[in-house]
Structure 1
Amino acid sequence: MNENNETSHRCAGSRPARPLVLCAGMAVVDFIFRVDRFPSPSTKAIAREFFVTGGGNAANATIAITRLGGRARFCGPVGDDEFGQRVLYGLLKEGVDIGGAQHVKGAPTSVSGIFVDPAGERLLTTRRAQALEKAPPPGDCARLIEGVDALLADNHFPDFVLPICRAARERNLPVVLDVDKPATEAADPLLALASHAIFSAEALRAAAAIGDLAAALERASTFCRGFVAATDGAAGALWHDGHALRRQEAFAVNAVDTLGAGDVFHAAFALALAEGRAEAEALRFASAAAALKCARFGGIVGAPARADVEQLLMKS
């Protein structure tokens, strides 16, 4: 456990002014409906608000990073359709480098339909083409990570991101893994490459086959080679410091939309590591950024600016 924690101090002596984080993984188009209640079977729910925006773990993370003052590069498979163009154009408008995007001929871009209720909770379904899941990884990972200070990868396309993670570890870069799908060491070699694995609470419980989150994290610390943590919504984040479990409390906000909060959390954490911060400080920064996202409706459109995060940290 924590044998790779030296990566968090790699840049401690000289922090990059605007570090570059490579975000590898999923990009989708989100169709977001704001409703008074979630529809139950055989009923209708009238949407009070509707809009379409880019989404997906890696794509969302790039936007969060640029708004937090870093530089971001996206790498992931997208369809060669209008939705794919829309996603990438949205990233370009945010100042994201999309040179790592891989267009998959004949494949539709992934789409999600999302209901958001007044409490900010979401109900989500995603359609992802098999052709995207089978997309070959980049041919020149060394070029892709050139100038990069940290890698953030989600595990939705494990075969695609695996060689990128391997190349980053060979460069001794922080490799932050967003474990959004259940994964164990035997089933997902990404865990062996990650210097920092951050699970969703749902994915962690499934991976460890334990209902209690603290016990599940203890179990995960035995099959993750580096730093391990779990996000748990309003309950904050739980993490293992190599000796004991610790909790980063969530910042209190009036939540109106939790969509994209996890992506903002991972992005802020990876950026903080790229800046040379230790894990505890990075978790606090990430928690503040995610909280501010929850206070704003619109998925990743509500990702906060750096100044807003720093103001919240100063007041808390």
Structure 2
Amino acid sequence: MTRVSDSGDDADGGSPAVLSIGAAAIDEWYAVSNLPEPDGGAFAREVTSAFGGVGANVAIALDRLGRDAGLVSRVGDDEYGRRAREYLAETGVDATHVAVGDDPHTRSLILRDPDGERAIVTAGESFRGLRLDGDALAAMADADAVFLTAYAPDRVSRRVLDRIAALRDGDETADPPALVFDLSGSVEELVDRGTEPETVHRFLHAADLFVADGVAAPAFFGSADAAVERVAAAQRRAPGSESRSRRGSQRDSTWPRAVLTHGADGMTAVAGGEVSRFDAFDVDTVDATGAGDAFTAGLIDRWIAGTSPGTPEDGDGVAPGVRFAAAVAAINCTARFTQPGLPTRSEVESFLAERGYGPGGSR
């Protein structure tokens, strides 16, 4: 499938299919007077709902950028699940592999105070019941990239790893998908719900792109500095690109890659074991919820889907992709809720141009 971006250009000669595995949640927002302390209380000035879920956020962000994106998920057979399915049908995201189960739909209760600080509680078993059937596994083989969040049940994460490994070891003429993993959520939050530490460790060594935020990385690695050291060391010990994936074998020595995000304090990129630090764009933030997912989608767009294998990235290494992704995240922060502010490609290009950068983030 080929999509044409809203800027009128066929991105790099064709848009690869990206398969996102994650929840399509409903976010219930409470604008509260304060985040309550233990045994304390708060008053909600406004209560509303919006669409979220890491898997859906990344897929819809890529769709807004003009990419062909599909979602593998499981929703509840209830009012929330029906709303999620109806909403997905209005987007360009392929929801063929979104199953319906009897469990209550996955939803998040988000408390947000006047300063933008948040507390999030997630409920609903629908996504925890996800299984990868034969059709979803076949879709992985046909995709150009597979994205997975750590909120995915461990059995799903392990099956994705096994499937990618089998594809990499398979037919010499095949072109296995690139693997992107997002370490979202602290270790404690993922226990009995998401990807287990041992499986995360496998992703660290198997993923073409490994992303972790400022909460998840220190929780898993012990500290932010330790996260950088561990990721760089894993990359330096990585096997040759031919044994990782034939797609990866056509890339330069800056693969595999990882980015550790620090919110408004910027991000750290680790590429081929080399560390670079970048600043975030300064914007008037309305709501930072989902900014990390928007950032990951921007990286996928520029580094995975946006660059033909073996093609230099605007002649400037990893930096343009990080800037492009940072622009996607920054724009998203200027609107309320997770998905309404996800930008189109022309909006990102205009944002970058106003700051002296080229359409893809190059100088």
Tell me, yes or no, whether TM beats 0.5. Answer: yes
Change (3 A) 1:34 1:96: same
TM-superposed CA distance for 1:264, in Å, is 0.9
Output the CA distance in 2 between the equivalents of 1:281 and 1:165. 29
Change (3 A) 1:36 1:71: farther
Out of 55, 59, 64, the residue aligned to residue 58 of structure 1 is 55
Out of 259, 284, 304, the residue aligned to residue 323 of structure 2 is 284
Out of 205, 208, 229, the residue aligned to residue 221 of structure 2 is 208
Output the CA distance in 1 between the equivalents of 2:115 and 2:144. 37
Contact 1:150 1:271 in 2 (8 A): no
Find the counterpart in structure 1 of residue 192 from structure 2: none
The one-letter code sitting in structure 2 at the alignment partner of 1:239 is A
1:112-191 alignment, distance < 5 Å: 112-129=108-125, 132-145=127-140, 147-157=142-152, 158-168=154-164, 170=167, 171-181=175-185, 182=187, 186-188=198-200, 189-191=202-204
Find the counterpart in structure 2 of residue 3 from structure 1: none
Output the CA distance in 1 between the equivalents of 2:127 and 2:350. 40
Out of 298, 302, 306, the residue aligned to residue 275 of structure 1 is 306
Change (3 A) 1:62 1:118: same
Paired residues, what number?
299
Cα-Cα RMSD: 2.4
TM-superposed CA distance for 1:43, in Å, is 4.4
1:297 aligned onto 2:292: no
Find the counterpart in structure 2 of residue 6 from structure 1: none
Output the CA distance in 1 between the equivalents of 2:318 and 2:100. 35
SS at 2:286 equivalent? coil
SS at 2:134 equivalent? coil
Contact 1:60 1:300 in 2 (8 A): yes
Contact 1:19 1:271 in 2 (8 A): no
Structure 1 moving runs of 4+ over 6 Å: none
Contact 1:141 1:164 in 2 (8 A): no
1:34 aligned onto 2:31: yes
1:231 aligned onto 2:231: no
**1:65-102 CA distances to partner (integer Å, 9 max, x unpaired)?**
11112121000222222211211221221221101112
- Percentage identity across paired residues of the two chains: 30
Find the counterpart in structure 2 of residue 192 from structure 1: 205
TM-superposed CA distance for 1:36, in Å, is 4.5
Unaligned runs of at least 5 residues, structure 2: 1-10, 168-174, 188-194, 239-255, 308-312, 356-363
The one-letter code sitting in structure 2 at the alignment partner of 1:172 is P
Find the counterpart in structure 2 of residue 246 from structure 1: 276
Change (3 A) 1:83 1:185: closer
Find the counterpart in structure 2 of residue 10 from structure 1: none
The one-letter code sitting in structure 2 at the alignment partner of 1:97 is D
